[in-house]
Structure 1
Amino acid sequence: MNANVRLDGRSLTRAQLVSVARGAKIELDPAQLPAVARAADFLAEQVRREEPIYGVSTGFGSNADRLLGAHHLRDELPGAQPSQETLHEELQRNLIVTHAVCVGEPFAPDVVRAMLCIRINTLMRGHSGIRVQTLEALAAMLNAGIVPVVPQLGSVGASGDLAPLSHLAIVLLGGGEAFYQGERMPGGEALQRAGLSPVTLSYKEGLALNNGTAQMLATGVLALDRLEKLADTADLAAAMTIDAFAGRLGAFAEEVHALRPHPGQVQVAANLRRLLEGSTLSDIPYHLVPKFRAWQPGSWDTPDSQALRFDIGWDWVPFTQRHGREKFYTRFRPFRGGKKHQPQDAYSLRCIPQVHGAVRDAIAQAARVLDVELNALTDNPIVFPDAQKQHVEEQVISAGHFHGMPLALAMSYVKAAIPVLASISERRLNKLVDPATNDGLPGFLIGNEDSTESGHMIVQYTAAAIVNDLASRAHPASVYSIPTSANAEDHVSMGANEARHVLAMADDLGKVLALELYTAAQALDLRRDMINAARGLADRADAESLASKVSGAPIPGSPDREGFLAEVEGLRQELSSAAEFRPGRAVAAAHAALRAQIPFLDRDRALDGEIGLVVRLEREGHILSAAKGT
């Protein structure tokens, strides 16, 4: 059971907000409530003194120059019935009911709960003029599990998230719609079922409730919570791919990254070293890695090996092709298998720290901005009840804290980073399935001895389609400002759209990473089994038997045959004396978690169900948790 999160307007963390979004209850810090009450009492006193205050005794936006009268004009007509609410109450109510005009599908409950928590927290600062009883009613609504229906489209990110926040507040007034105990219903009915009563708003309370950055902040925080886990998942998927390639680890060395110490880059390199610790596949001598050959009935010599879905082989480098390279072939054996002898891998492997790290730095910058915003005052005007000033406009100050540009630009940065991480993941996936680039693995990671199988071919198509979609959605919304409120609000942030896009895009990024994990697991099985099959053959057979797997061998009786067999014997002894080849411990744990749910693809089968399953396993964190548990 989640502990209550205490809100004081100053100490809310992203982790606490995520906890509330997922069901934790809140409580208001009693020590802060007197400050809340002082601001409300101050406004009431200024209204008694007939002081003109924006949003309290004036209209809103381009109506800011219109002062409220003493009573409704129509009350002066003969026979008119006096209005049931004051002009001040009507002003605040109308603000909410006319501004709740969003359209589209409703936000998920976690987003709405986060929005409510953020709004309550900022109002706890004591500079908004809301009464304690109204704030307590808002907290009671959240704790009761009432989730206002907030359609996703309608905020321009200044003046804050006016329309979506009005959908929150209208339920507090007994209007709008809400979800309660899994059922969608009128807002007033939800309050009644929860044992709560509607609220009548007082001075500035409507403006306090709907003027702020809660939607963009809620979606941004939830997106970062997902993205921080996805950054770890991307490192894990990359590590599994490195082991599947029997890749080179020098590019991740600590001393290398000390020379270009971008924080994210250094972190990713360290992650890769940890994930690949214990691997005997990475940095394996290139001549020990056989290449795939299609299985034939005579490929293997024992019943167990006959069950394999592949054959293996090497090409021998003749003595006549070694001139000028004698020193090289003294150190490395003259057999070309799946791995080329080269000190560096492709960019999608070698540059993982630089690319993944840059994405992490974008996330970290956004986190810095969101951490400030979580405990910031974001409505307008700002009330300073304790200020000793001559004029009220020095105590109730109109400013622009509702403007979402700090969040919008931070989200634009993250939005551009998401397809970068998805793209490099897809490039690794593509490299795994392409026989021209996968270092000796079968094409599309399937044996296909009868030429009827497609294996993982179309998995790459799906990843490519998602990457293209992410790239097309990455254009920053923050560069397009469309003026509102008759040009009184002539520059807006569009931060709500930006953060909403990022939240949706994070989920699609997870799908691409899941597809890489799915494909890398298949490739890892093949790489490990092919090398261990070579080891097993070397352990039970002589040089002549191993030589049957080598192409380009001198024919029996030729002058080079004896020297060739001596070199094969050297290869045999090196393979035979090696321990069983295995991936890094963390990679192995993640692989085992995936294999516990999805078996190796030995022959073509329907993949739709397991593709959906691996996406769910990634989203729920099962594979990442297995790796972190090592």
Structure 2
Amino acid sequence: MTEKLVPGELTIAQLKRLSGAERVRVELDPKCRAGVRASAALVEKAAQGDAPVYGVNTGFGKLATKRIAREDLALLQLKLLRSHAVGVGEPLSDRVVRLVLLLKATSLARGYSGVREEVIDTLLALHNAGISPVIPCQGSVGASGDLAPLAHLCLPLVGEGEVFFRGERMPAAPALKQCGIAPLQLGAKEGLALINGTQVSTALALDALLAADRLFEAAVIAGSLTLDAARGSDAPFDPRIHAVRGQPGQIDCAAAYRSLLVGSQIRASHLENDDRVQDPYCLRCQPQVMGACLDQMRYAAQVLVREANAVTDNPLVFADGGHMVSGGNFHAEPVALVADALAVAIAEIGAISERRVAMLIDTVISRLPPFLTPDPGLNSGFMIVHVTAAALASENKSLAHPASVDSLPTSANQEDHVSMATFAARRLSQMLKNTAHIVAIELLAAAQGIEFLRPLRSAPAIENVMRLVRSVSPAMMSDRSLARDIEAVHHLVEAGDVGHAIEAQIRELQALKLH
């Protein structure tokens, strides 16, 4: 199957498909090609003229006052890629690199960058051939575009740099040759158009957002499981409570919690003889906390989809009026701010999950056996499992510090305010892993709590989740190492399997998904 890319019309659903485990073959909507040709013609006209045009016949950044001879214009673009490919650190994942290739190609295909069709076609050829440029993860400040990582992305277009191909890291030239892809000879402005842009920070943030979508669903389900294990009340999820506040995420989350708990024998068993007036906040305020996180994620999705479709090059080429205009669309502040918002949301999802684990092991609050073991003293049960969750939640607090408030001037103070969007987005990956482990620990702890309430059954949906957890981790009635169990459930959370186990039963879960 081939997926058609319509520049300016990418959706979150399409981006999700394109970043999946299987590489999807893509093709460009032919309707965009006339605009691409028109803008390339305008750049070529400027290159043949005598007037100084930034990025076409001048140096870059602080060197913009330096004129470049006409015979050196192609060499100028090649040297730009070479000089800017100075990233460090581990390579970005194949999943992220695929997104970067597609976002860069569709941005250029909007027809405002002045590149030839061959440039865009070669980017897509790399993607379709399974060639992933090696992009070191560090070295961008998220202004003037993701210069260093995009230079690493694009060096293989000219037969230089490194790529991953068929499971091997190798020089780009032989990989291109094996696939019958001819290296490009860059024209005027093309090197600049390739490295200007926010595609790396945007791809990193989108990748994190899609992972957060799966994590969020699992965390809502884990919270429902914990509520029943602690014999909590579902009264705080009454729709009237949430309607009078009017926060959409909160309303949707409350509906999901209500639906998840329908038919619970455990809930029915203590409806009339429960002497607790109110549950702890970690149970009672789940719709308020998780709903606020959901609203942040939905806002981030809006911004990131706009950015995925954006033209973030400089200068921009407006062929219809015959103008080339310098601006600052390469500044990644929108991405930085929503990445910081996502960081806080991810930290909060983990923070309230950790509090629920702490509540479950506290026999005074949960009224379950101490540390969720039937023989406390001889057994420590979930005592140190909770410590692991606490350590991860605390680590997330440091990682959630906003990156966007930091700025170091670069390029001899020409670029005197930067967004730090690339780091803001990149650090989300570790936070997601931390929080997925916390949620996995909660699922294990809540499932253990349910065991002490047998033979009563939880809600049918929750029992499906119980079976999923038990498929990789049996109940622990005597101490054993739970390290492998935590990893196994963590993989279920990351893969979205927790939600998949019951999505068909609970339509309200679909309302929580990013569409």
Provide the TM-score with structure 1 as the length reference: 0.78
Report 1:224-623 matches (<5 A).
224-282=209-267, 284-285=269-270, 341-387=275-321, 395-439=323-367, 441-448=368-375, 451-527=377-453, 529=454, 532=455, 581-623=456-498
State the shift of 1:433 in Å: 1.0
Conservation of the 8 A alpha-carbon contact between 1:106 and 1:149: yes
Aligned with 2:14 (options 13, 16, 34): 16
- The residue identity in structure 1 corresponding to 2:310 is A
For the residue of structure 1 that corresponds to 2:89, the secondary structure is strand
Q: Say whether the 8 Å CA contact 1:446–1:456 is kept in structure 2.
A: yes
State whether structure 2 residue 68 is matched by structure 1 residue 140.
no
CA contact (8 A) 1:18 1:114 kept: no
Q: Give distance in 2, aligned partners of 1:13 and 1:588.
A: 35
Secondary structure of residue in 2 paired with 1:105: strand
Structure 1: gaps of 5 or more residues: 71-85, 288-331, 333-338, 389-394, 533-580
Deviation at 1:283, TM superposition (A): 5.4
Matches within 5 A, 1:80-229: 86-229=71-214
Contact 1:408 1:496 in 2 (8 A): yes
**SS of residue matched to 2:462:** helix
Does residue 1:33 correspond to 2:33, yes or no? Answer: yes
Distance 2:6 2:13 in 1: 16
Q: Matched residues in 2 for 1:215 and 1:250: separation?
A: 45
SS of residue paired to 2:346:
helix
Q: Which runs of 5+ in 2 are unaligned?
A: 506-515
SS at match of 2:164: strand
Shift of 1:280: 2.3
Amino acid at match of 1:627: I
Question: Does structure 2 conserve the Cα–Cα contact (< 8 Å) formed by 1:242 and 1:282?
Answer: no
Contact 1:258 1:266 in 2 (8 A): yes
* Aligned match of 1:561: none
Question: Is this contact kept in 2: 1:248–1:343, CA < 8 A?
Answer: no
SS in 1 for 2:364: coil
Larger radius of gyration, structure 1 or 2? 1
> Would you say 1:628 and 2:509 are equivalent positions?
no
Partner of 1:42: 42
The separation in 1 between residues aligned to 2:81 and 2:195, in whole angstroms, is 7
Partners of 1:490 and 1:408 in 2: CA distance: 16
Please give the alpha-carbon distance, in whole angstroms, between the structure 2 residues aligned to 1:17 and 1:167.
22
SS in 1 for 2:354: helix
8 Å CA contact 1:425, 1:516 repeated in 2: yes
After TM superposition, give the deviation of residue 285 of structure 1 in Å.
2.9
Whole-Å separation in 2 of the counterparts to 1:45 and 1:247: 72
Distance in 2, Cα, partners of 1:606 & 1:459: 10
- The amino acid that maps onto 1:384 is F
Residue pair 2:27, 2:124 contacting (<8 A) in 1 also = yes
Secondary structure, counterpart of 1:281 in structure 2: helix
Superposed CA RMSD: 1.4
Q: Distance in 1 between matches of 2:498 and 2:124?
A: 37
Q: How far did 1:45 drift?
A: 1.6
Report the counterpart of residue 322 of structure 1 in structure 2. none
Query: In 1, distance between residues paired with 2:226 and 2:502?
Result: 14
Partner of 1:535: none
Measured after TM superposition, the shift of residue 203 of structure 1 is 0.9
SS at match of 1:383: strand
Letter matched to residue 17 of structure 1: L
SS in 2 for 1:282: helix
C-alpha distance in 2, partners of 1:180/1:588?
A: 44
After superposition, where does 1:46-65 map in structure 2 within 5 Å? 46-65=46-65
Distance 2:375 2:335 in 1: 51
Q: Is the 8 A contact 1:247 1:283 kept in 2?
A: no
Structure 1 residue 590: deviation in Å? Answer: 0.7
Give the TM-score of the pair, scaled to structure 2: 0.95
1:366-399 Cα distance to aligned partner (Å, 9 max, x none): 11111211111101000011105xxxxxx00001
> In structure 2, what is the Cα distance between the partners aligned to 1:285 and 1:174?
70
Task: Tell me, in whole angstroms, the C-alpha distance in 1 between the residues paired with 2:109 and 2:174.
Answer: 28
Q: Which residue of 2 aligns with 1:336?
A: none
Aligned residue identity for 1:424: I
Deviation at 1:627, TM superposition (A): 2.1
Say which SS state the counterpart of residue 169 (structure 2) adopts. strand
Q: Alignment partner of 1:478: what SS?
A: coil
Kindly provide the CA deviation profile for residues 65-100 of structure 1, in whole angstroms up to 9, marking residues without a partner as x.
111124xxxxxxxxxxxxxxx311111001101001
CA deviation string 1:562-601 (max 9, x = no partner) = xxxxxxxxxxxxxxxxxxx321121111111111222111
Residue 6 (structure 1) aligns with = 4
CA distance in 1, matches of 2:244, 2:152: 52
> Displacement, 1:286?
6.5
CA contact (8 A) 1:5 1:24 kept: yes
How far apart, CA to CA, are the structure 2 residues paired with 1:452 and 1:619? 34
Looking at structure 1, the residues matched to 349 and 480 of structure 2 have their Cα atoms a distance apart, in angstroms, of 30
Q: Paired residue for 1:554?
A: none
- Contact 1:6/1:28 (CA < 8 Å) preserved in 2? yes
Tell me how far apart the structure 2 counterparts of residues 101 and 285 of structure 1 sit (CA, whole Å).
63
The CA deviation at 1:507 is 2.2
Give the AA of the match of 2:277.
P
* Cα distance, 1:345 vs structure 2: 0.4
Percent identity over the alignment? 41
Equivalent position SS for 2:328 = coil
Structure 1 distance, partners of 2:365, 2:276, is 14
Task: Please state whether the residue corresponding to 1:479 is helix, strand or coil.
Answer: coil
2:110 maps to amino acid: R
Amino acid at match of 1:351: C
